Structure 1
Amino acid sequence: MGGRVGYAHLIDAMALQAIEVKQPALIQPVTRIERIGGALSVPQAVAPEAGDFLAHIMFALKHEGVNLAILAQALPRLDGQLLVDAISQAPSSAYIRKICFLWEMFCNQQLDYPDNPRGPATFLFDPARYITGPSLRNNRWRVDFNGLGTLKYCITVERTPELQALLDYDILGRSRAFIASLPKEMMDRAINWAYLSETESSFAIEKEAPSEQKAQRFIQLLRQAHDRQPLTENYLVALQNSAISNPLDRAAAFRHEQNHLSNALRGSAGVTYVPPPPDLCRELMVELMAFANQAPLQLDPLVAAGIASFGFVFIRPFMDGNGRLSRFLIHQTLCCSGALENGLLLPVSVAMKREEQRYLEALQSFSKPARQFWDVRWIDADSMSFDFTGDPSLYQYWDATDCVTFTMEMAKRALEVELREETLFLQRYDTLIKVVNASYDVRGSLLSKLVMQCMDQNGVVSKGRRKQYLGLIQEEVFDFLEAHAQALLAKADTEPHGEDE
Structure 2
Amino acid sequence: MTAIGYEFLRASLQLAAFPPVRPAYIRPVTRVEDSVNTLAVPRQVAPAGIDPLSHVLFALKHEGTNLQVLADALPRISAEDMIAELNKSPSGAYIRLACYLWEEFSGRQLVPIPSIGGPAHPLFDPERYVTGPVVRNARWRVLFNGIGSIRYCATVRRTAAIQTAIGSNILNRTKQFIASLGAGLMDRALAWAYLHETDSSFAIEREVPSEDKARAFVDLLRQAHEPRALSEEYLVELQNAALTNPYNRAAAFRSEQNWLAGPGRGALAVTYLPPPPGLARELMSELTALAATAPKVVDPIVAASVIAFGFVFIHPFMDGNGRLSRFLFHHALCQSGQLEKGLLLPVSIAMKRHEADYLTTLQQYSRQVRERWGVRWIDEGQYDFTFQGTPAIYRYWDATPSVAFGYRMAEQALEIELRQETEFIARYDRIARAINAAFDVRGSELAALIRCCLDNGGVLSKKRRKQFADRVPETVFDCIEREAKAAQEAVEVGSGESDGASLAPR
TM-score bin, normalised by smaller chain: over 0.9
How far the C-alpha of 1:463 sits from its partner, in A, is 2.4
**What secondary structure, in the 3-state scheme, does the structure 2 residue paired with 1:45 have?**
coil
Partner Cα separation in structure 1 for residue 308 and residue 24 of structure 2:
31
How far the C-alpha of 1:7 sits from its partner, in A, is 0.3
Partner Cα separation in structure 2 for residue 8 and residue 485 of structure 1:
60
How far the C-alpha of 1:494 sits from its partner, in A, is 8.2
Partner of 1:204: 203
How far the C-alpha of 1:452 sits from its partner, in A, is 1.4
Partner of 2:393: 394
Whether the aligned pair in 2 keeps the contact of 1:10 and 1:56 (CA below 8 Å) is yes
2:296 alignment partner AA: L
Count residues in correspondence.
496
Whether the aligned pair in 1 keeps the contact of 2:427 and 2:491 (CA below 8 Å) is no
Whether the aligned pair in 1 keeps the contact of 2:196 and 2:349 (CA below 8 Å) is yes
How far the C-alpha of 1:5 sits from its partner, in A, is 0.3
Q: 1:44-55 alignment to 2 at 5 Å?
A: 44-55=43-54
Partner Cα separation in structure 1 for residue 495 and residue 377 of structure 2:
59
CA distances 1:239-281 after superposition (whole Å, capped 9, x unpaired) = 1011112111110100011111111101111111110011100
**What secondary structure, in the 3-state scheme, does the structure 2 residue paired with 1:44 have?**
coil
Q: 1:253-272 alignment to 2 at 5 Å?
A: 253-272=252-271
**What secondary structure, in the 3-state scheme, does the structure 2 residue paired with 1:226 have?**
coil
2:168 alignment partner AA: Y
Partner of 1:22: 21
Report the RMSD for the aligned CA atoms in angstroms: 1.5
Residues 93 and 386 of structure 1, relative CA distance in 2, 3 Å threshold: same
Runs of at least 5 residues in structure 2 that lack an aligned partner in the other structure: 497-506
Which 10-residue stretch deviates more, 215-224 or 326-335?
Answer: 215-224
Partner Cα separation in structure 2 for residue 493 and residue 141 of structure 1:
63
Partner of 1:274: 273
Residues 382 and 471 of structure 1, relative CA distance in 2, 3 Å threshold: closer
**What secondary structure, in the 3-state scheme, does the structure 1 residue paired with 2:224 have?**
helix
Q: With structure 1 as the length reference, what TM-score do the two structures score?
A: 0.96
Partner Cα separation in structure 1 for residue 425 and residue 12 of structure 2:
62
Whether the aligned pair in 1 keeps the contact of 2:376 and 2:385 (CA below 8 Å) is yes
Whether the aligned pair in 2 keeps the contact of 1:87 and 1:117 (CA below 8 Å) is no
How far the C-alpha of 1:496 sits from its partner, in A, is 5.2
How far the C-alpha of 1:116 sits from its partner, in A, is 2.2
Partner of 2:5: 6
Partner of 1:301: 300
How far the C-alpha of 1:91 sits from its partner, in A, is 1.4
Partner Cα separation in structure 1 for residue 182 and residue 35 of structure 2:
53
Partner Cα separation in structure 1 for residue 316 and residue 193 of structure 2:
28
CA distances 1:275-307 after superposition (whole Å, capped 9, x unpaired) = 001110000000001001111111111111000
2:98 alignment partner AA: I
1:195 alignment partner AA: Y
Partner Cα separation in structure 1 for residue 226 and residue 172 of structure 2:
21
How far the C-alpha of 1:37 sits from its partner, in A, is 4.0
2:65 alignment partner AA: V
Partner Cα separation in structure 2 for residue 83 and residue 195 of structure 1:
56
Partner Cα separation in structure 2 for residue 244 and residue 53 of structure 1:
49
2:159 alignment partner AA: T
Which 10-residue stretch deviates more, 41-50 or 362-371?
Answer: 41-50
Q: Does 1:468 align with 2:487?
A: no
Partner Cα separation in structure 2 for residue 208 and residue 11 of structure 1:
42
Which 10-residue stretch deviates more, 434-443 or 283-292?
Answer: 434-443
**What secondary structure, in the 3-state scheme, does the structure 1 residue paired with 2:413 have?**
helix
Runs of at least 5 residues in structure 1 that lack an aligned partner in the other structure: none
How far the C-alpha of 1:443 sits from its partner, in A, is 2.6
Partner of 1:82: 81
1:180 alignment partner AA: A
Partner Cα separation in structure 2 for residue 258 and residue 382 of structure 1:
13
1:451 alignment partner AA: I
Partner Cα separation in structure 2 for residue 135 and residue 348 of structure 1:
30
Partner Cα separation in structure 2 for residue 49 and residue 332 of structure 1:
50
Partner Cα separation in structure 1 for residue 88 and residue 168 of structure 2:
47
Whether the aligned pair in 2 keeps the contact of 1:228 and 1:332 (CA below 8 Å) is no
Partner of 2:408: 409
Q: 1:12-411 alignment to 2 at 5 Å?
A: 12-411=11-410
**What secondary structure, in the 3-state scheme, does the structure 2 residue paired with 1:17 have?**
coil
Partner of 2:502: none
Which 10-residue stretch deviates more, 42-51 or 8-17?
Answer: 42-51
Partner of 1:479: 478
| Superposition misfits of 4+ residues, deviation over 4 angstroms | 492-498
Partner Cα separation in structure 1 for residue 420 and residue 495 of structure 2:
12
Partner Cα separation in structure 2 for residue 497 and residue 50 of structure 1:
69
How far the C-alpha of 1:385 sits from its partner, in A, is 0.7
CA distances 1:353-388 after superposition (whole Å, capped 9, x unpaired) = 111111111111211111110000101123011110
Which 10-residue stretch deviates more, 240-249 or 438-447?
Answer: 438-447
1:316 alignment partner AA: H
Partner Cα separation in structure 2 for residue 139 and residue 441 of structure 1:
79
Partner Cα separation in structure 2 for residue 209 and residue 325 of structure 1:
16
Partner Cα separation in structure 2 for residue 47 and residue 456 of structure 1:
61
CA distances 1:313-349 after superposition (whole Å, capped 9, x unpaired) = 0000011100000000011111111122140111101
How far the C-alpha of 1:492 sits from its partner, in A, is 7.8
Partner of 1:456: 455
Which 10-residue stretch deviates more, 241-250 or 460-469?
Answer: 460-469
Q: With structure 2 as the length reference, what TM-score do the two structures score?
A: 0.95
How far the C-alpha of 1:471 sits from its partner, in A, is 3.7
Partner Cα separation in structure 2 for residue 350 and residue 223 of structure 1:
16
